[in-house]
Structure 1
Amino acid sequence: MTHSNDKNLLRLIKFGPISLIIFFSILVNVIVIHENKSMSDFDLLSLQEDFEATERQIIKNQVSQLYQHILVRKEAAESELKQSMELRINQAHAIASTIYNNNQHRPEHVVKALINDTLRSVSFNQGRGYYFIYTMDGVNVMHPTVPSLENKALWDMKDVKGNYIIRGLAEAASKDQRQAGFYTWWFPKPDNKQASFKKVGYSKYFAPYNWFIGTGEYVIDFESQIKQELLKEIQKMRYGDNGYFFVMDFKGNYLAHYKTDLVGLNRFNAVDAKGFPLVKEIIKVARSGEGYINYVASIMPETGEPSDKTSFVKGVKDWQWAIGTGTYLQEINEYIDDRKITIEARHQQELIKIVAISVFVSLILIVMSILISKNISLRFQNYQRKIQLDFEALEATKNKLTHMAHHDALTQLPNRVALIERINTGIALSQQVGQSLAVMFVDIDDFKKVNDNYGHSMGDRLLEHVSKRFSEVIGEGDTVCRFGGDEFIFCFPKLSSLLEAEHKVQAIQDVFRQAIPLDGKQVYTSGSIGVSMFPEDGKDAEKLISKADLVLYKSKAEQKGQFLFYDKVTHLKVKRDFKLEEELRLAITNQEFSLVYQPQICTASQQIIGVEALIRWVSPSLGFISPAEFIPLAEDIGIIEQIGEFVLEQASIDIGHYNANNENPVTLSVNISPDHLVADNFANTVLNFAKKAGLNSSYITVEITENVLIADVKKAKPVIEQLRNYGFDVSLDDFGTGYSSLSYLAELPISEIKIDRSFIDKLLVNEQAESLVKSIILIASSGHMSVVAEGVETSEQYERLREFNCDVIQGYFFDKPLSIEELSAKYIPKKN
């Protein structure tokens, strides 16, 4: 019994450890393999979901860009039509003028016939367009499509809304100095007599025969032409290996498709391979706005075979179009399958190795169980390390894709998608602890100058440097992202006070205080900052970003490199600024500007010898706007030349008429913006306006301020010299307020000095001001220049200036600015 037990014990000692090691070896291998497989499956699933989300966003972005392109073309259709019509009529008018000028020796009826025959044969706009001619009292002279109307009086012809058609065209041809204009009416089309369609006409006066030459076009026809051009363009668009766009109308007709044989076919009742009514669903989604659709596509361009597909569809409701593009699930599955094959192959290799080694180790353990157990332990550690490396590689791929979806490629900062998430998270955290959150919108000032001076690659490096410095500013829980271009947004949650938010702003501003080294150059820049606060200014990310952007605009407008916190007053001011810019762009077209003239009085005779033209603007929605407010804005948005030319032209006409009816003509002074002065052919423009108004150049004084000379005296000097050569006088306005007035007098051919009203205001109460005024008059006298004192409002000021021998006085003491009618009534002597 004992022997038997010993044998059993010996057997147990001999085989027990080996059996246990083999058992646990197998158990460990099974667990490792199972965990390896589970983690691989999980990572593959996450990879697939992330890749599908990215593909869905890509097709949405593609369709959104196409939609914006369609809207731009649609909105520009009528404008393009008008430009085309104006060009055509100008060509017709030039042809008629040439025929008239070359045949004046021939009888009138022969010349008229030549003009009619020439224009009658001309057609355009794919055969729809033609010219017609009427006399200014409504008698048809030539009508190529309806010759029966010729020589008939159509003055009283109306459209379906009661508008006089021929009268309107005649008025358009005579309503302004261009003697040309547009007119709109409603008229049936030749192929649809039951309905009326909007029609735009353009007419131009032909003076030799008191005619007007015109043409007209149905807006819907031109818009149809735009649609066809867009559809041809869309049909050719491609991206990637299988990316294309399709367009169908809400009735199911394909309008554009890469398969040209589908274009023109009605597919309203079409279904996919699973019976899904995909066309009806596309139209339904397009009618409601936009959305995704999953279906089986009839063909995949790369393979020529059916494939599951996800498309993004968006409706163009005005045209009843559905536009869309999609991504094939087969492409996504192929990418995932490739990754799966690679991972599974590696897993299989590891499995084979583990099994082989386990068997080998089990055999060796029969002889040397202790050594084998140590060896097995070391080997399993190696296997686990290799498996972990595979896991890490897969995790790195996943993290890279996630990072790309949420970070900016250039700066590696979070992008807009991540920003919204982090702001909303920060709002939730701040709300839990009853604290504030700040959103700070930062814009790098004059970033375009860096690109222009050093190149875009240098601009990118500047953004990288600034981004690194921004990253050093933020603390735990804070966020900075690149919003786009040279714009960045910071999010600071859990702030205890407004003062703490201001400290954050100061930290951001400190980033710009040090120069940024770029290729050996020290580049200095600054940043403007707009700040909004949760919960005072908004409860969600979109509102906070919008309001921070709003005050950023205001901050940059006031002074670059500063910061501004959002408040309701600022909000209203910025809204008014936007409205002011919008109204200002339309002011000239809507004829909202007017001129007044302030008399300039000879100090010795107290008689009017000149006037200064002053512009006034009364906006229908904003009321009276001061020139001090809208002139700088006009310079910023680039329309100051148009305004300046309006003032020059209208003032020349007004004073030309005034002088023609007055035995004592007056001079005209016009203040010119620096941007306008250095514009191309400025001096010739002024000369042309003067000649057109019948006003001698010696009666016009161009007033300039020192800021134009400070900005670029090299550009200004030749313009001033050319003006003087043409006979115009040049006045240096606001003299004495700059830094180098005397040097300009020595360098430039100035004929007049205008003393700034700030000196006149202090003339009687400040000895220094009195000395300066006296010195200015003496300097002008020694340089053979006349002197004008502006802002004279009291008799004491007038007497003192007369004592100093000032030449001309301007101000409310003598008269306020007057309209041309008031000026004429007051200063032109009435004839008996």
Structure 2
Amino acid sequence: MVFAGMVALVLFSSFVLGYVWIRSEYDQFSRQSAEIRQDFLENQKVLLSSETRRSVDNMRFMANRTESVLKDNIRNRTEEALSIAWNIYRKFGSDRPEAEVRKMIREALRPIRYSDGRGYFFIVSIDGVEVLYPVFPESEGKDVTDLQDERGNFVIREEIKVVREHGEGFVTGYWKKPGQETSEASPKISFVKLFEPFDWYIGTGEYLDDVEAAIQKDALDLASSVRFGVKGDKRLFVRTFEGEDLVDGRQAREDASRLLGDDPASRERIIEEQINAAKQKPEGIFVEFLVPEKGEHVSSENLTFVMAVPEWGWVVGSGVLTDEIEEMITAGGERLREKVIRRFIQISLMVLF
């Protein structure tokens, strides 16, 4: 009887100690889970904001340099055209008739194109006669000093003035782009430079919005190539203020649609919230929302960081599903459960044998 009582006491004590140990393990796991969850969120916030800021800073830098990039390009192109003209003049100017040399220069520049065929060279005499205008050759040989842009500016007169006073310079005109006659006039910046032997000036120009579009394409190509995160599965998204997707930034995994869900109405609402938040705080803001459940999946929390690029009317950001950490914690709970079961079996065997 005494032995049985001792055995019962030992068993009871073992189970009490086992319970205390198990409870301690689970309490510790709960505390660690809370710390892991908080650390995960903080790390994700740093990761999302730093990658988004880096991309937006680059976009803003590129946007602010649009005009300077245009001017550098057309200045360099004009210098190339002048180099061609001078080479022809130095080689043939002394032993060929002047009219022939003029024609040689004109025809050498006529077919040259750049910037995907948009750019070309023109020549105007210092007294306002069109010498070369390859996109509208019918104007060649005619006086164009009275030519006005869409705002009534006498652009040729301004070019002549710049060349007479400074030898070279930039002039801005406002024109309706070919094929877009119903649209508003676009600013076109030209660079002109004097060619002294024939009292000509040679120049070229580019529409500001064409250069901006090319720069935007480069910016989008760069943004679409960005990968970050431990698995390299996080990407940026870029949208217009109107909600048009420019770069698909959903995570590259099989269930990527969970970032925004597949319900059109819900997606539209979420995107609108992100855009409005970015427009109100262009410097950056975190937006949290629930992604509606899909099939067997429960609703998931999405943490997104968004910034605005007002210069281009864009919103840039990246997001993460916070259930990623819950999956990690659940896996940790499973490991703890297995550990507890093994420990319980060990204690039971020690007590019984």
Which residue does 1:96 correspond to in 2? 85
1:298–1:195 CA distance, 2 compared to 1 (3 A): farther
Matching residue within 279, 284, 289 for 2:276: 284
Which residue does 1:679 correspond to in 2? none
Q: Partner amino acid for 1:219?
A: L
Please state if 1:353 is matched with 2:346: yes
1:348–1:16 CA distance, 2 compared to 1 (3 A): closer
SS in structure 2 opposite 1:248? strand
Please state if 1:114 is matched with 2:109: no
- 1:53-452 equivalence runs, <5 A: 53-104=42-93, 105-176=95-166, 179-193=167-181, 194-240=183-229, 241=231, 242-257=233-248, 272-273=262-263, 276-277=266-267, 278-288=270-280, 289=282, 290=284, 291-294=286-289, 296=291, 309-329=302-322, 331-360=324-353
Superposed CA deviations along residues 380-418 of structure 1, whole A, max 9, x for unmatched, are: xxxxxxxxxxxxxxxxxxxxxxxxxxxxxxxxxxxxxxx
1:173 Cα offset (Å): 2.4
SS in structure 2 opposite 1:221? helix
1:69–1:218 CA distance, 2 compared to 1 (3 A): same
Which residue does 1:26 correspond to in 2? 15
Are the equivalent residues in 2 in contact too, given 1:236–1:258 (CA < 8 A)? no
Hey, what's the Cα distance between the residues in 1 that align with 2:48 and 2:216?
A: 22
1:174–1:295 CA distance, 2 compared to 1 (3 A): farther
SS in structure 1 opposite 2:117? coil
Hey, what's the Cα distance between the residues in 1 that align with 2:171 and 2:292?
A: 49
Hey, what's the Cα distance between the residues in 1 that align with 2:11 and 2:107?
A: 109
1:54–1:256 CA distance, 2 compared to 1 (3 A): same
SS in structure 2 opposite 1:189? coil
1:29–1:233 CA distance, 2 compared to 1 (3 A): closer
Are the equivalent residues in 2 in contact too, given 1:295–1:310 (CA < 8 A)? no
Hey, what's the Cα distance between the residues in 1 that align with 2:264 and 2:312?
A: 31
Q: Partner amino acid for 1:284?
A: N
Are the equivalent residues in 2 in contact too, given 1:271–1:279 (CA < 8 A)? no
1:189 Cα offset (Å): 1.9
Hey, what's the Cα distance between the residues in 2 that align with 1:124 and 1:23?
A: 90
Are the equivalent residues in 1 in contact too, given 2:74–2:191 (CA < 8 A)? yes
1:225 Cα offset (Å): 0.6
Hey, what's the Cα distance between the residues in 1 that align with 2:130 and 2:314?
A: 42
Superposed CA deviations along residues 161-212 of structure 1, whole A, max 9, x for unmatched, are: 4433112222332433xx2221223222223334122221100101011110
Hey, what's the Cα distance between the residues in 2 that align with 1:39 and 1:298?
A: 32
Are the equivalent residues in 1 in contact too, given 2:10–2:351 (CA < 8 A)? no
Q: Partner amino acid for 1:292?
A: V
Hey, what's the Cα distance between the residues in 2 that align with 1:171 and 1:106?
A: 31
1:76 Cα offset (Å): 1.8
1:274–1:191 CA distance, 2 compared to 1 (3 A): closer
Superposed CA deviations along residues 703-729 of structure 1, whole A, max 9, x for unmatched, are: xxxxxxxxxxxxxxxxxxxxxxxxxxx
1:245 Cα offset (Å): 1.8
Which residue does 1:828 correspond to in 2? none
Aligned residues: 331
SS in structure 2 opposite 1:183? strand
Hey, what's the Cα distance between the residues in 2 that align with 1:107 and 1:350?
A: 105
Hey, what's the Cα distance between the residues in 2 that align with 1:198 and 1:183?
A: 10
1:18 Cα offset (Å): 5.9
1:114–1:298 CA distance, 2 compared to 1 (3 A): farther
1:16–1:101 CA distance, 2 compared to 1 (3 A): closer
Are the equivalent residues in 1 in contact too, given 2:237–2:248 (CA < 8 A)? yes
1:275–1:308 CA distance, 2 compared to 1 (3 A): farther
SS in structure 2 opposite 1:243? coil
1:258–1:358 CA distance, 2 compared to 1 (3 A): same
Hey, what's the Cα distance between the residues in 2 that align with 1:131 and 1:295?
A: 56
Are the equivalent residues in 1 in contact too, given 2:261–2:292 (CA < 8 A)? no
1:358–1:275 CA distance, 2 compared to 1 (3 A): farther
Hey, what's the Cα distance between the residues in 1 that align with 2:12 and 2:325?
A: 43
Are the equivalent residues in 2 in contact too, given 1:246–1:256 (CA < 8 A)? yes
Hey, what's the Cα distance between the residues in 2 that align with 1:174 and 1:295?
A: 66
Q: Which has the larger radius of gyration?
A: 1
1:68 Cα offset (Å): 0.6
1:246 Cα offset (Å): 2.0
1:359 Cα offset (Å): 4.3
Are the equivalent residues in 2 in contact too, given 1:272–1:296 (CA < 8 A)? no
Are the equivalent residues in 1 in contact too, given 2:261–2:293 (CA < 8 A)? no
Are the equivalent residues in 1 in contact too, given 2:63–2:311 (CA < 8 A)? no
Hey, what's the Cα distance between the residues in 2 that align with 1:45 and 1:210?
A: 80
TM-score, length-normalised on structure 2? 0.83
Which residue does 1:484 correspond to in 2? none
1:275–1:204 CA distance, 2 compared to 1 (3 A): closer
1:293–1:158 CA distance, 2 compared to 1 (3 A): farther
Superposed CA deviations along residues 13-61 of structure 1, whole A, max 9, x for unmatched, are: 7766665555444334323322322222222232122112212221111
Are the equivalent residues in 2 in contact too, given 1:155–1:167 (CA < 8 A)? yes
1:120 Cα offset (Å): 1.4
Hey, what's the Cα distance between the residues in 1 that align with 2:261 and 2:330?
A: 29
Are the equivalent residues in 2 in contact too, given 1:276–1:295 (CA < 8 A)? no
1:226–1:297 CA distance, 2 compared to 1 (3 A): farther
Which residue does 1:523 correspond to in 2? none
1:274 Cα offset (Å): 9.4
Hey, what's the Cα distance between the residues in 1 that align with 2:3 and 2:71?
A: 104
Hey, what's the Cα distance between the residues in 2 that align with 1:17 and 1:338?
A: 40
Are the equivalent residues in 2 in contact too, given 1:293–1:313 (CA < 8 A)? no
Are the equivalent residues in 2 in contact too, given 1:44–1:336 (CA < 8 A)? yes
TM-score, length-normalised on structure 1? 0.37
1:295–1:97 CA distance, 2 compared to 1 (3 A): farther
1:91 Cα offset (Å): 0.9
Are the equivalent residues in 2 in contact too, given 1:44–1:340 (CA < 8 A)? no
SS in structure 2 opposite 1:148? helix
1:284 Cα offset (Å): 2.7
Greater relative CO, 1 or 2 (CA 8 Å, sep 6+): 2
Hey, what's the Cα distance between the residues in 1 that align with 2:145 and 2:184?
A: 23
Which residue does 1:811 correspond to in 2? none
Gaps of 5+ in 2: 251-259
